[in-house]
Chain A
Amino acid sequence: MAYNLIGKDFTPMDVEAKVTGRAKYAEDFRADNMAFCKTLTSPIPHAKIKSIDTSEALKIPGVIGILTADDVPQFPPPALPILTKDEVYYVGDPILAVAADSEQTAAEAIEAIKIEFQQLPHVVDPLESLFPGGPNARTAGNVAAGQIKLQTVKWDAADFAAAGDTKMPMGHAAEEWSYGDVDGGFKNAKVTIEESFVTGTYSHNCMETRTTFAYWQGGKCFLHGSNQSHTAAIANIARYIDIPPENLVFIAEYCGGGFGSKIPGYPNMAIAALMSKKINRPVMHRITRTDEYGIGAARPGFQGYIKMGFRADGKLLAADMYLVQESGPHATAGDFRAAGNALTMMYQPDACKFRSVPVLTNTVPMGAHRGPGENQFAALVEPMFDKAAKQLNIDRIAIRRINAPDNSGKIGKERGPLTSAFQKEALDKAADMFKWSDRKKLSGQKTGNKVIGVGIGQGYHSAGTNGFDGLLRITSDGKLHVHTGIGNLGTYSHSATARVAADLLNCDWENVVIERGDTRKGLPFNSPQAGSLSASTQSRTMYAAAEDMKAKLMDIAAKTHGGQPADYVLGKEKVSHKSDASKSLTFKEAADKAIALGGKYSGKEVPDDLNAITKQSVGMIAGTGLIAAAKDNMPRVGVTPGLSVSMAQIELDTETGKFEIKDMICVADCGTVLHPLGLGHQISGGNVMGIGMVMERHIYDPKLGIPASVGFHQGKLPTYLDVPVEVGWAAVEKPDPQNPIGVKGVGEPVLGSGASAITSAIADALGGHLFNRTPVTPDMIINHLAGRPPAHKPLQVNTV
């Protein structure tokens, strides 16, 4: 169908607030009589807490209260706690919090607290923990993640000896699966690629630290926080504060970056709330950049092995992958599992075997980082396809194309279906845009000390789900209020998807009011703004609610002018009788009628299948207009993949080991395009973060367990000067048949394709040499070109 708004650029309502500085983030709020809170964090990587003496701190004038682990809700270990109890697991681990009249006094009090630690062995290299007799990151074990219970896994010395110095050792796995005839596949392969690799971890480094400000009024907790999601976070935050969800007023109109680290609420948010309850004053818990490093998450790293067997035409017959995951001290990361799925999805191998061990380490808690698992995997494995193409003497796009998923593609060990996949089209479009057939001739061309490399990368992440609620309201002034419980991560999907409702209801964009950012506005239960979900899930909920709204408008028209609802059709902000245009009802009139009618029309009655949060929200706005509230019950069978292809041309300096990205493009398979400007923004930003994966560092001193990359500078985030002036982009624009608008997300895949286009280009510039490692540093390049061994051991982590 032809749309008025969908697919067109617009200016989201919150942009002006951002460019004028009027946008209020959590730390920009304050209250009379506000107290300040600071946390005492662990100075050592692993220890038992033997005693805590707060007596001197409590004597300091202005100190109001202290929270320890005993004062806050507990969750069974190894879950991420609010404050750690009995044992500290990393440098920066929050142990207790102090509130004082001033922040300076709170900081003074922290310094006056005496803690006696009994130091325990620590570990920052997963393989070291798996070695017989190696240290455990927790007294109770060294392996855990999701369904894998906390346990101790040690490999045999023979496992390590068999691997030698350069190959990944592979002992007992905590999880493994396979499908198809893996051995047979390798037997039939013409070319087999076998590599060991390392992907470094790196911090999320959100620009806004996760400050929380909280106070209590009338038995409710008012919490200003930094969160990617809105209503999807409520249950978790309430659980951390130990209150029923309906007693949480959550205000989060803006979020200064999350990238996976602020998805469903996080334990640290509860400190200000619990402290405020304890001292009966509003509490500001400002998070410093150093604090943020400790609690702000990081992308897990892999030490891995992969073997891939290819047919003469490039078809991947069999794959075997083993991943050891550097997980941090808590069971917070499932990247390894996602990477296994990515292998089965991106390359559709006939047979596949996957083994993994998520190992706990005394480093910061790790978690989802924009394309968790899939993107580390892509950055390392994509260049291996170049190697295979070279050995098979086929084109680098051809080898990707033959393995790329289409609509008949399958995913996972269960070989489940996909809702749609147009990766072959994405490859073709990217090749066209990048003029691949000309461009590949530049590969390896030298001018003085500059050598050209051209790279191709692909990215995948599931990008759609269903089952959330839509909530719309037409008020007596004729305005359409779109209530959205999605967060504000900066993707503008809150507005882009609101346009779906406006379009379906034939409403001018100027007459739309977006209600978001504060639970008091009555926000429906929506998906997290994560997992590349919001564009897809929110277009579905908007569709469901718009259908409900249309039906109610027709009902009310029939009640007003007679006849059946089906006699009426939707016009411009009104409904009219099909054969008698004089019988019409404007939005304004419908709102007044709905208020008079009550019941389901004004939100006094709601469908049973709505989430409790939505029901509560409808209750808040009931009687204020014509209300449509509906759950997205539309079917969806299979995984909805977001896919992308990036291509890059770099110029590598053989004297400095540095490279400059001369050109970069990206094509996304994300279904119907809702908002071209916003989509282009996500695509280019994702590719920039992908460049970051190839540069960024997260380093721990292996002997002391002390972090050496706290802060932006040491983390080596990409700047204006590290990225191309522009990332060209396009979309395949094939609608997903299982979304009413055809939308799929793409926020995450674009990072993976960006990162892998760069690793592929570096390998290309070096004549096909694979470092099998991120980050790629200038000294690695210099050493390689000089014929020297790298400065690090093959499977070493925490390299600079």
Chain B
Amino acid sequence: MSDDKTKFDSGQSGPRASRRAVIKGVIASGVAVSAAGYLVYERYGAGGRTAGAVERLVTLNVNGKDRRVDVLPNETLVHTIRYKLGLTGTKLGCDHSECGACTVMVDDVSTYSCSTLTHSVRGRKITTIEGVEGPNGELHRVQKAMIKELGPQCGFCTSGQVVAAVALLKHNPTPTIDEARRGMSGNLCRCGAYDHYLKAVMTASREA
């Protein structure tokens, strides 16, 4: 798990609000507040509110480990992953099921985490980009192929492309190139790196 908190001393930081205080505040204002501080479902301003909503402690299976985490009723999986579990490899591109930068696997199926409620995946197997590597940190063959073929340009969509490719190859280990491009077509790349990503998928499939 990555945790890149910058230590900051403003010289006037007071005690942080306790979780109880946060929950009381939530009830008082009638607004869904995430303990992580980030707004859930950001596309429509404060529109993500749920009157009186409070977080519930749930267990999620992420990258093979059970993780206990407080989750709001309307919380999306990308929010939980990025802002509560600190797994920032999963990117938020559109928050609207349009780009696939947030792609994770749920029970080995490629899923837009920006449009999946966290409560709906309790008890399911969630795999993020951080869980694609082998237990000893060995890169997945898709990742190796992405390096060999120079898959990414800017890299922002890459986590999603890698996870989508891993999911594709789980279900279809030897796709034709047309099956591969259809399988990957839920993931946008603004740099237009499609042919390099596609080459990597085909290379990885050959090395299975």
A binding-site residues for B, Cβ under 8 Å? 11-12, 14-25, 27-34, 36, 38, 60-62, 101-108, 110-111, 205-209, 215, 217, 222, 254-259, 280-282, 286, 288-290, 489-492, 677-678, 681, 684-689, 692, 711-713, 717-721, 723-727
When distances are taken between beta carbons in the complex, the residues of chain B under 8 Å from A17 are: 155
Number of CB contacts from chain A to chain B under 8 A: 248
Interchain CB contact (< 8 A) of B150 among A61, A102, A678, A719: A678
Interchain CB contact (< 8 A) of B37 among A103, A289, A492, A720: A103
The docked-state distance in angstroms from the alpha carbon of A93 to that of B159 is 32
Give the contact-size bracket for chain B.
35 or more
- Whether B51 is near chain A, meaning CB under 8 Å from some CB there, is no
B152, A103: Cβ atoms under 8 Å? no
Decide: A288 near B43, CB < 8 A? Known: A207-B156, A489-B154, A678-B150.
yes
The docked-state distance in angstroms from the alpha carbon of A645 to that of B186 is 30
When distances are taken between beta carbons in the complex, the residues of chain A under 8 Å from B13 are: 32-33, 281
When distances are taken between beta carbons in the complex, the residues of chain A under 8 Å from B96 are: 289, 711, 713
- Whether B143 is near chain A, meaning CB under 8 Å from some CB there, is yes
Give the most central of A258, A687, A719, A726: most B CB within 10 Å. A719
- Whether B80 is near chain A, meaning CB under 8 Å from some CB there, is no
When distances are taken between beta carbons in the complex, the residues of chain B under 8 Å from A677 are: 150
* Interfacial residues of chain B within 150-180, with CB under 8 A of chain A in the complex: 150-159, 162, 177
Decide: A108 near B29, CB < 8 A? Known: A36-B38, A207-B99.
yes
A290, B158: Cβ atoms under 8 Å? no
A334 to chain B, nearest CB (A): 23
Interchain CB contact (< 8 A) of B147 among A15, A62, A289, A712: A15
* Interfacial residues of chain B within 30-44, with CB under 8 A of chain A in the complex: 31-34, 37-40, 42-44
A685, B193: Cβ atoms under 8 Å? yes
When distances are taken between beta carbons in the complex, the residues of chain A under 8 Å from B146 are: 15, 19
The docked-state distance in angstroms from the alpha carbon of A684 to that of B149 is 13
Interface string of B92-121 (1 = CB under 8 A from A): 111110110100000000000000000000
When distances are taken between beta carbons in the complex, the residues of chain A under 8 Å from B5 are: 30-32
B133, A20: Cβ atoms under 8 Å? yes
Decide: A21 near B128, CB < 8 A? Known: A110-B46, A288-B43, A685-B192.
yes
The docked-state distance in angstroms from the alpha carbon of A133 to that of B40 is 46
- Whether B2 is near chain A, meaning CB under 8 Å from some CB there, is yes
When distances are taken between beta carbons in the complex, the residues of chain A under 8 Å from B182 are: 720-721
The docked-state distance in angstroms from the alpha carbon of A724 to that of B196 is 12
Give the most central of B128, B147, B188, B190: most A CB within 10 Å. B190
Decide: A28 near B196, CB < 8 A? Known: A15-B152, A20-B143, A289-B43.
no
When distances are taken between beta carbons in the complex, the residues of chain B under 8 Å from A724 are: 195
A757 to chain B, nearest CB (A): 14
Decide: A254 near B25, CB < 8 A? Known: A681-B196, A711-B96.
no
B156, A103: Cβ atoms under 8 Å? no
Decide: A720 near B181, CB < 8 A? Known: A19-B158, A33-B10, A104-B32.
yes
Q: From A102, which residue of chain B is reached at the shortest CB distance? A: B37
B17, A101: Cβ atoms under 8 Å? yes
The docked-state distance in angstroms from the alpha carbon of A205 to that of B188 is 11
- Whether B184 is near chain A, meaning CB under 8 Å from some CB there, is yes
B158, A32: Cβ atoms under 8 Å? no
B145 to chain A, nearest CB (A): 9
B45 to chain A, nearest CB (A): 5
When distances are taken between beta carbons in the complex, the residues of chain A under 8 Å from B155 are: 14, 17-18, 23, 254, 256, 490
The docked-state distance in angstroms from the alpha carbon of A718 to that of B181 is 13
The docked-state distance in angstroms from the alpha carbon of A726 to that of B200 is 12
B107 to chain A, nearest CB (A): 20
A391 to chain B, nearest CB (A): 35
B70 to chain A, nearest CB (A): 14
B91 to chain A, nearest CB (A): 8
Q: From A61, which residue of chain B is reached at the shortest CB distance? A: B25
Decide: A205 near B88, CB < 8 A? Known: A18-B158, A19-B152, A19-B162.
no
A296 to chain B, nearest CB (A): 11
When distances are taken between beta carbons in the complex, the residues of chain B under 8 Å from A104 are: 31-34, 37, 39-40, 46, 48-49
